Amino acid sequence: MRLVNMKTKIFNRKQLKQAGELIKKGELIAFPTETVYGLGANALNPKAVKKIFVVKGRPSNNPLIIHVCNLKQVEEIAYLNPLAKKLIKKFWPGPLTIILKKKKIVPKEVTAGLRTVAIRMPDNKTALALIKYSNCPIAAPSANISGKPSGTCFEHVYEDFGGKIAGIIKSRQCKIGIESTVLDLTQKIPEILRPGKIIKKQIEKIIGRVRESKGHVSKPKSPGMAYKHYSPNAKVIIVKNKSQIKEVFKKYSGKKIKLLIYKNAINMAHNLFKDFRDADKKGFDIIIVKSIQEKSLGNAIMNRLRKGGKIYQS
């Protein structure tokens, strides 16, 4: 399957019905959510889902997240349990993905052959309207070439997929800037497979004890668990203080270096992937990023940084 030299239509929010018609026909549409842009296809159409893997260069054993706009769609594709119902009531629509036992209607292409499926309801009116007009749940990983920083604004998504997919919905930069929290509810003790804005403490207030994944696995149940992720072309070096910043500048004195320091976790999450992409566009060789305290949203940010760069050792 080869997808190149397509005419990529740019949609605004008043043209979502047209975009939904293309999803129905098995085409790919990139759309904004509150976390990052998604690269969407009809989740119940295996041929359409395969196109996602082709244009992203994504390994076929890396499952996708299905995006829904109502509970009816969830019940169509998965078996709800009491914990899921509590979390949905509290956090949906929002940046929480839950993993449940799937129903037969979900193609193996979406789940990488697993018996589980990852589902979320985005907190974005454009995304929800697109799902509604498509009249089907939408399978959508982040809109970026596999392994690269996730797309958080229209311009970056167009750079990656212009001429390769049927359409892109033009919108403002995504509000949060990093992907959703992923929680596996199919285990005896629910497990956070990927940290995000919704943190362990918030989840435990609703359903009790939750554990956190130790990281890389050979057979992922969720995006973001295997393979190198979130990496710009430039080498990313993570530092903890001014002294290390000076050391890195000295060590790479002949290189073009970009220094990224953020005032807080919200600002960092919102801008990190955008700044990575902008640095690549301007030809930087090295990106130095000052680390952030690993609590709350900072935990999710550092998770992404470690997958895309290396901690500096003095």
Q: Are residues 181 and 303 in the same domain?
A: no
Starting at the edge strand that comes first in sequence, how are the strands of the sheet with 167-169 ordered?
Answer: 9-11, 167-169, 29-31, 38-42, 138-139, 65-67, 116-120, 96-101, 181-184, 191-194, 211-212
pLDDT of residue 6: 84
pLDDT of residue 2: 53
pLDDT of residue 231: 87
* Chain-centre distance for alpha carbon 16: 21
Q: Length of the chain in residues, anyone?
A: 314
Establish if 223 belongs to a structural domain: no
Q: Could you tell me the residue range of the domain that residue 281 belongs to?
A: 235-311
Rounded to whole angstroms, the Cα distance separating 103 from 291 reads 42
Establish if 58 belongs to a structural domain: yes
Q: What single string gives the DSSP state of each residue in 201-218?
A: HHHHHHHS--EE--S--S
User: Contact at 8 Å (CB) between 55 and 7?
Assistant: no
Establish if 188 belongs to a structural domain: yes
Q: Are residues 194 and 254 in the same domain?
A: no
Considering its fold, how many domains does the chain have in total?
2
Please state the φ and ψ torsions of residue 252, each to the nearest 5 degrees: -110, 45
Establish if 219 belongs to a structural domain: no
Q: Are residues 74 and 175 in the same domain?
A: yes
Domain boundary among 212, 227, 248: 212
The most distant pair of C-alpha atoms in the chain lies apart, rounded to whole Å, by 58
CATH of the domain at 286: 3.40.50.11030
Per-residue pLDDT of the chain (314 residues; tens, 9 = 90+): 555 578 999 999 999 999 999 999 999 999 999 999 999 999 999 999 999 999 999 998 999 999 999 999 999 999 999 999 999 999 999 999 999 999 999 999 999 999 999 999 999 999 999 999 999 999 999 999 998 999 999 999 999 999 999 999 999 999 999 999 999 999 999 999 999 999 999 999 999 999 999 765 555 666 655 555 778 999 999 999 999 999 999 999 999 999 999 999 999 999 999 999 999 999 999 999 999 999 999 999 999 999 999 999 98
Look up the pTM and report it. 0.94
